[in-house]
Amino acid sequence: MSTAGQAGTAVRADGSPSSDQPAGTSFSPAERHPSAPRRVKLSVSRVDPWSAMKLSFLLSVAVGIAGVVMVAVLWMILSSMGVFSDMNRTVEGILNTTNGAKFDLMDYIGLGRVVSLSIVIAVIDVILMTAISTLGAFLYNVCSSLVGGLQITLTDD
């Protein structure tokens, strides 16, 4: 049973003001200095391994795609600069193939082979990074149960 008090504030039957705030947390905006930043201390006590696996999978796929594109672009730049033809002439001069056998460096480092190898490396990277990140989340959970987790202090600027 509350009765109306001043300026629409509810008052309990015992005369104390009624509010929606829990007991002991009453504060007004005038009490807090506007220039003082709020500080909150938190601890990361658990990392969900499933979400760590999903996030690491997506990030490693993105890194893998970027790596394959980077290798292809780098190969095209080196090819357009004539680096591979110069290397081919140098290797032919060193081997001095007089019996008519022709050496072609592009049989070994052609665009198709290089991109295929970079795709294989990217797939292995995706599998390994996903597994390592998931294992890391499990290990973090075990360690944080022993020592309490990572302590973080957040401030409001």
Number of domain units in the chain:
1
pTM of full prediction above 0.85: no
The answer, yes or no, to whether residue 3 has pLDDT greater than 50, is: no
C-alpha distances out from residue 104 to 82, 84, 93, Å: 14, 10, 12
In a domain, 17, yes or no: no
Of the candidates 63, 74, 73, 71, the one whose C-alpha atom is nearest the C-alpha of residue 124 is 63
In a domain, 35, yes or no: no
In a domain, 131, yes or no: yes
Residue 132 is part of which domain span? Answer: 61-146
In a domain, 126, yes or no: yes
pLDDT single digits (tens) 6-41: 454 555 555 555 555 555 555 555 565 667 888 999
In a domain, 4, yes or no: no
In a domain, 2, yes or no: no
